[in-house]
Amino acid sequence: MIDEQRLNRMRSAFEERFGPADALALSRAPGRVNLIGEHTDYNGGYVLPMAIAFDIAVLGRASGGDRVRLHSVDFGESASFSPDELEFDRERQWVNYPKGVMKLLRETGMDVPTFDAVVAGTVPIGGGLSSSAAFEVAVAKFLLELSGKTLDGVDLARLARRAENEFVGVQCGIMDQFVSVFAEKGKALFIDCKTLEHRAIPLFGNDYEFVITNSMVRHSLGETAYHTRQAECREGLSTLTTVLGGRETLRDVAERDYRGTRHVMRPVVRKRLDHVFSENRRVLEAVEAMKAHDAAAFGELMDASHDSLRDDYEVSCRELDVLVDAAREIDGVLGSRMTGGGFGGCTVSLVEKQAAGTFIRTVSSKYGKETGLEAEFIRTDAAQGATTVRL
């Protein structure tokens, strides 16, 4: 679960606002870093993320009152609302995640009680490590616990994604919520985002680690070109459907058929689809490399992924490119790429463990000199998916 110091801080915040901190439920859900497979999930493709040891936690209990009362320890803000009036809050964005989850659970016919709760997280906000999905999954687990109900893991991930799509308004794919639910300690999670088949893949062992570097350039997917990229993919799919016949997702199109059809598309759409088709292929090759413990091959695929995201999908930015370029110059770095939606956020690098200290010092120095910013480095094991306990 969460460390004792953080739990005590949440207990104190609860007592200060809602009374004695007894008979409480605690739910937590992790953020994630995507190792490879970017902008493929909403196209029905393949992804390979892992959960990180940073999460969002919800602590509270059913209240029996007529309003939900929430307090964010991190933002120092409180909110109160009626479960019968779940309107979008334009002033406090964080409140919309629990509102969206609650609204969708109620639409399933579930009797979700009103509650008092505090929220605290360790996932960097706006860093592309999926703090939003972690919050949605943690709230869903918490409300299910209060209601005495269960939900199949796949249905839980789908519901959390719908909360982000339909209530928050970000048209993300299902990867983030799915790995937050299903992640296994010490393993990456391969997900087929069309069929939702998935399997855990052990990492490379003690000689290597994935180091996350936060550019400290915050992104907000709802305010970026994220939705434009999705529209361009839909345009490409529409063209392919016209030529080849009905297809639901880009995954339903064989790459050879795409290659024979791409000349009829707008140049920018060709670039977007070039990335999607090549990235799906890279994910499958990366899974095989991980299963074979071939870290060098995996690193090469990470490099190719970033180059494609930078040049074909055009979702990188100067700061991310500076981080990747600096990482690639260091002995012991096998591969580096941007991770997440892009336009800021983080990179992830596969590093020999003995070189990690040099990696951090060197990248930090070069990044500071070239951008004037101070990068944040996150060293984390692959974490377990969402959990709930009664305290």
At residue 144, the 3 state secondary structure works out as: helix
Q: Is the pLDDT of residue 385 over 70?
A: yes
Domains and CATH numbers, the chain: 4-202+383-390 (3.30.230.10), 208-379 (3.30.70.890)
User: Can you give the pLDDT at residue 38?
Assistant: 97
Q: Is the pLDDT of residue 43 over 80?
A: yes
Percentages helix, strand, coil for the chain, rounded to the nearest 5?
45, 20, 30
Q: Which two tokens stand for residue 266?
A: 């707008």
Q: Is the pLDDT of residue 213 over 50?
A: yes
Task: Give the C-alpha distances (Å, rounded to integers) separating 54 from 119, 130, 190, 224, 287.
Answer: 14, 10, 20, 25, 24
* pLDDT, tens digit (0-9, with 9 covering 90-100), for 72-129: 999 999 999 999 889 999 989 999 999 999 999 999 999 999 999 999 999 988 778 8
* pLDDT, tens digit (0-9, with 9 covering 90-100), for 1-20: 788 999 999 999 999 999 99
Long-range contacts of 232-237 (CB under 8 A, 24+ apart): 232/268, 232/269, 232/272, 233/42, 233/43, 233/272, 233/273, 233/276, 235/265, 235/266, 235/269, 236/265, 236/269, 236/270, 236/272, 236/273, 237/43
> What are the residue numbers of the active site?
176
* pLDDT, tens digit (0-9, with 9 covering 90-100), for 115-170: 999 999 999 887 788 899 999 999 999 999 999 999 999 999 999 999 999 999 88
Residues 47, 199: Cα–Cα separation, whole Å: 11
